[in-house]
């Protein structure tokens, strides 16, 4: 039996993960906006993981995955394939421990993300922009170097690390009625769900995703992992789909998924930039848009929103 | 003798001001960036007053000015002339106490600032965009309504309120070697200087301003209040000059002013947006640019930077 089976996961592990990694990551602030509260008629709290090291929560999972390796395996390094935030996060986390991070990146990855990976000391291997090419390049590196492959979301140690954001959030804001997190690969949502189920069992956990890539919504409906035929969303971090580790956790602990339109994502993103003075990426705006879309659902409640990251082009914001 | 004379100001007043206003303002987070630290070779801390209510530190001084009024005077409201952050701050602070705020705004004030003032409940009076027109319009309102005039920077109660940001900063980060704040009208810098002199006397206080409007630099050189002939800087919050209340405090407690070029302001602003994921306005970028301009001066030190605000056009950033 795989360790991914939901009944085998002790939710307390997410608390232990937080204890392990807390010295390696920022304890990010929780922000509020009275204007936002007025719009929703609720008390809404934003956990600003865009202010986390490397600009997203992903360093939490990357750090925890590395800390979970044996001393011997750790020295050989880690490998992943990613064109996004996890590439930066794993590079930086590996750098903190003085071990190599091998990053397989498709040749069409944005220049700015490539530069960030280099800045953090990641060793980039180029590959064609297909999943097959990415996986085979990563496998080859693993064989040659003995490095451990770390999946950006479908990995229990990664999920437990991501959940540490919710651990801090729940500790900071008592009695949250619900937690809203964006869902792509499901690492953040699954980790958040585990944290809530352990530390705040009455807190409802809600996912947020674009209509354009609503695989998580459909997966919860059908009871099995669904895929996206197209990925026409500006929320570049959510173009992936759930995996066999993240899905069972989400199925067990997440009550619902709210879907949002592309224009709602843009509007929410601009609103947060303008009013709250923080740079959030489109994937984070999805969670904000979900709350704005259903104010009647959240009215009168104490709501927590996980702001997942802020890695986006600040000179040409996608909301324009 | 005016209460503005420097030897008459008890620096402890800034601590008392913090105690009075702390329930009315955000206790803003202090952020760090390991990339920034690496660039300077120092430990640098950013007090994020851009995340303050109304998007700038100005609500601190506005709140303190209102709290310093007698019950009777307070009811009659407050009046100011401002096209910038203080207009929003005073409107919002007055709204918190349920009293009117009369805001004289030049007809050429940006639409977004005008809307923000309305949103916070300020009563706008239009006037021609000259200092004379602004002052006479404000005086007329004062006569008609009995409202108390509150100057955006050259007012001791305002200055004491602004200093509360440094009170929190020093409390959060012990043993700062220096504090860097932008200087325009001098309210923030003077308040910061009073706070440091009381709570952390070994902490050097440094001002930062654009070469284009270097009146504070020249004033410290000449020993009297100098003016700017032109105001060709993107740092719109710093186009004003010191006053007879702010200058004596700055003269007594501020060791030096670092001047920066316009391009340095733009570069610093973009860097903070991109790397630290917060929206800062050009005036705040001036303080960041000052530290970037003289890394040798700050090397090895524990440096605090006051990020004053984040009210700027997010769709068309001025650094482009």
The three state secondary structure string of chain A is CCCCCHHHCCCHHHHHHHHHHCCCCCCCCEECCHHHHHHHCCEEEEEEHHHCHHHECHHHHHHHHHHCCCHHHHHHCEEEECCCHHHHHHHHHHHHCCCCEEEEEECCCCHHHHHHHHHCCCEEEEECCCHHHHHHHHHHHHHHHCCEECCCCCCHHHHHHHCHHHHHHHHHCCCCCEEEEECCCCHHHHHHHHHHHHHCCCCEEEEEEEHHHCHHHHHHHHCCCCCCCCCCCCCHHHCCCCCCCHHHHHHHHCCEEEEECHHHHHHHHHHHHHHHCECCCHHHHHHHHHHHHCHHHHCCCEEEEEECECCCCCCCCCCC
> What local confidence, expressed as pLDDT, does residue B31 receive?
98
Q: Is B102 helix (H, G, I), strand (E, B) or coil?
A: strand
Co-location of A244 and A294 in the same domain? yes
Identify whether B253 is part of a domain.
yes
Co-location of A108 and A201 in the same domain? no
The answer to whether A223 contacts chain B (CB < 8 Å) is: no
Q: Alpha-carbon distance A293 to A259, whole Å?
A: 9
The answer to whether B93 contacts chain A (CB < 8 Å) is: no
Q: In the structure, what pLDDT confidence band is assigned to residue A1 with cuts at 50, 70 and 90?
A: very low
What's the whole-number mean pLDDT along residues A261-288?
A: 97
Q: Alpha-carbon distance B87 to B61, whole Å?
A: 12
Q: How far is B241 from chain A (nearest CA, A)?
A: 26
Co-location of B163 and B279 in the same domain? yes
Written as six digits, the tokens of B261 are: 């070029």
Co-location of B79 and B127 in the same domain? yes
Residues of B in contact with A277 (CB under 8 A): 50-51, 55, 278-280, 310
DSSP B51: G
> What local confidence, expressed as pLDDT, does residue B4 receive?
46
How far is CA B264 from each of CA B241, B259, B282, B283, B288, rounded to the nearest angstrom? 21, 10, 10, 12, 9
Q: For this complex, say whether ipTM is above 0.90.
A: yes
- The string of pLDDT tens digits covering residues B230-286 is 989 999 999 999 999 999 999 999 999 999 999 999 999 999 999 999 999 999 999
Cβ A179 vs Cβ A298: under 8 Å:
no
Range with lowest mean pLDDT among A82-91, A183-192, A266-275, B164-173? A82-91
DSSP lists the bridge partners of residue A86 as none
Quick one: what percent of chain B has pLDDT higher than 70? 98
Domain that holds residue B231: 6-57+156-307
Quick one: what percent of chain B has pLDDT higher than 90? 89
Identify whether A316 is part of a domain.
no
Q: In the structure, what pLDDT confidence band is assigned to residue B1 with cuts at 50, 70 and 90?
A: very low
Residues of A in contact with B276 (CB under 8 A): 51
> What local confidence, expressed as pLDDT, does residue B7 receive?
55
Cβ B277 vs Cβ B307: under 8 Å:
no
> What local confidence, expressed as pLDDT, does residue A197 receive?
95
Separation of CA B194 from chain center: 14
Exposure class string for B101-119: b at 16+ Cβ within 10 A, else e: bbbbbbeebeeebbebbee
Q: In the structure, what pLDDT confidence band is assigned to residue A7 with cuts at 50, 70 and 90?
A: low
Interior CA angle at B53 toward B49 and B58, to 5°? 65
For residue A236, pLDDT over 80 is answered with yes
Residue A315 has its nearest CB partner, among B26, B55, B317, at B317
Co-location of B160 and B254 in the same domain? yes
In chain B, the number of structural domains is: 2
Identify whether A42 is part of a domain.
yes
A43-48: strand order across its sheet: A30-31, A43-48, A302-307, A178-182, A204-210, A256-260
A51/B276 Cβ within 8 A: yes
Cα dihedral angle (B159, B164, B169, B171), rounded to 10 degrees? 130
Written as six digits, the tokens of A277 are: 């003075």
What's the whole-number mean pLDDT along residues A41-64?
A: 97
CATH code of the domain covering residue B134: 3.40.50.1100
Co-location of A97 and A230 in the same domain? no
**Which one of B37, B95, B113, B277 makes the best mutation probe of the A interface by having the most chain A beta carbons within 10 Å?**
B277
Residue B320 has its nearest CB partner, among A50, A276, A315, at A315
Question: How far apart are the two ends of chain A, measured CA to CA in Å?
Answer: 49
Give backbone dihedrals phi and psi of B108, rounded to 5 degrees, phi first: -95, 10
Identify whether B319 is part of a domain.
no
Written as six digits, the tokens of A249 are: 């956790």
Co-location of A12 and A119 in the same domain? no
Co-location of B110 and B249 in the same domain? no
In sequence order, the 6+-apart residues with CB closer than 8 A to the CB of B250 are B183, B186, B189, B190, B193, B207, B216, B219, B220, B242
Co-location of A165 and A281 in the same domain? yes
Co-location of A63 and A52 in the same domain? no
Cβ A255 vs Cβ A204: under 8 Å:
yes
Question: How far apart are the two ends of chain B, measured CA to CA in Å?
Answer: 49
Residues of A in contact with B35 (CB under 8 A): 119
A319/B317 Cβ within 8 A: no
Question: Which stretch of DSSP H or E encloses residue B192?
Answer: helix B187-199
| Domain end among A98, A129, A149 | A149
For residue B169, pLDDT over 50 is answered with yes
| Rg of chain A taking only CA atoms, in angstroms | 18
| Domain end among B128, B149, B170 | B149
> What local confidence, expressed as pLDDT, does residue A221 receive?
97
Co-location of B12 and B71 in the same domain? no
Range with lowest mean pLDDT among A39-43, A133-137, B49-53? A133-137
Phi-psi region at B182: left, alpha or beta (left = phi > 0; alpha = psi -120 to 50) = beta
> What local confidence, expressed as pLDDT, does residue A111 receive?
80
Identify whether A319 is part of a domain.
no
Identify whether A240 is part of a domain.
yes
Question: Which stretch of DSSP H or E encloses residue B268?
Answer: helix B262-271
| Domain end among A97, A126, A149 | A149
Co-location of B209 and B145 in the same domain? no
Identify whether A112 is part of a domain.
yes
* Number of CB atoms found within 10 A of residue B224's CB: 11
What's the whole-number mean pLDDT along residues B36-40?
A: 96
Q: How far is A44 from chain B (nearest CA, A)?
A: 15
For residue B3, pLDDT over 50 is answered with no
Q: In the structure, what pLDDT confidence band is assigned to residue A131 with cuts at 50, 70 and 90?
A: confident
> What local confidence, expressed as pLDDT, does residue B83 receive?
76
Interior CA angle at A170 toward A167 and A174, to 5°? 160
DSSP lists the bridge partners of residue A103 as A80, A124
Written as six digits, the tokens of B175 are: 């043993």
Q: Alpha-carbon distance A149 to B22, whole Å?
A: 49
Identify whether A1 is part of a domain.
no
Burial of residue A95, with CB atoms counted within 10 A of its CB: 0-12 exposed, 13-18 middle, 19 or more buried = middle
| Rg of chain B taking only CA atoms, in angstroms | 18
Q: How far is B53 from chain A (nearest CA, A)?
A: 8
Q: Alpha-carbon distance B302 to B173, whole Å?
A: 9
Q: In the structure, what pLDDT confidence band is assigned to residue B112 with cuts at 50, 70 and 90?
A: confident
Residue B277 has its nearest CB partner, among A51, A119, A275, at A51
Q: Alpha-carbon distance A112 to A136, whole Å?
A: 25
Instruction: From A236, A228, A165, select the one nearest A195 (Cα to Cα).
Output: A165
pTM reported for the whole predicted model:
0.95
The answer to whether B314 contacts chain A (CB < 8 Å) is: yes
Sign of CA dihedral A285, A290, A294, A299: negative
């Amino acid at each position: 039996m795989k360790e991914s089976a939901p009944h085998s996961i002790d939710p307390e592990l997410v608390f232990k993960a937080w204890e392990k990694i807390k010295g390696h990551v920022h304890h990010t602030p929780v922000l509020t906006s009275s204007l936002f509260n007025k719009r929703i008629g609720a008390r809404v709290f934003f956990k600003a993981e865009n202010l986390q090291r490397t600009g997203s929560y992903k360093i939490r999972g990357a750090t925890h995955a590395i800390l979970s390796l044996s001393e011997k395996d750790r020295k050989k390094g880690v490998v992943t394939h990613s064109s996004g935030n996890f590439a930066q996060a794993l590079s930086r986390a590996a750098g903190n421990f003085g071990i190599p991070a091998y990053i397989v990146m498709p040749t069409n990855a944005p220049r700015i993300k490539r530069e960030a990976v280099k800045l953090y000391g990641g060793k980039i291997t180029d590959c064609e922009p297909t999943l097959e090419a990415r996986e085979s390049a990563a496998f080859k590196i693993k064989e040659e170097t003995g490095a451990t492959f770390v999946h950006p979301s479908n990995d229990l140690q990664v999920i437990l690390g991501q959940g540490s954001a919710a651990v801090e959030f729940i500790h900071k804001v008592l009695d949250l009625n619900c937690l809203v997190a964006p869902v792509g690969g499901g690492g953040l949502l699954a980790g958040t769900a585990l944290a809530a189920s352990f530390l705040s069992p009455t807190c409802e956990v809600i996912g947020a995703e674009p209509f354009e890539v609503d695989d998580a919504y459909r997966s919860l409906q059908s009871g099995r992992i669904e895929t996206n035929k197209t990925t026409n969303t500006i929320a570049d971090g959510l173009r992936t789909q759930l995996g066999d580790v993240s899905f069972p956790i989400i199925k067990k602990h997440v009550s619902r998924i709210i879907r949002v339109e592309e224009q709602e994502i843009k509007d929410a993103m601009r609103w947060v930039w303008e009013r709250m003075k923080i740079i959030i990426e489109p994937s984070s705006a999805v969670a904000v848009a979900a709350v704005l879309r259903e104010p009647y659902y959240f009215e009168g409640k104490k709501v927590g929103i996980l702001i997942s990251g802020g890695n986006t082009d600040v000179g040409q914001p996608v909301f324009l």
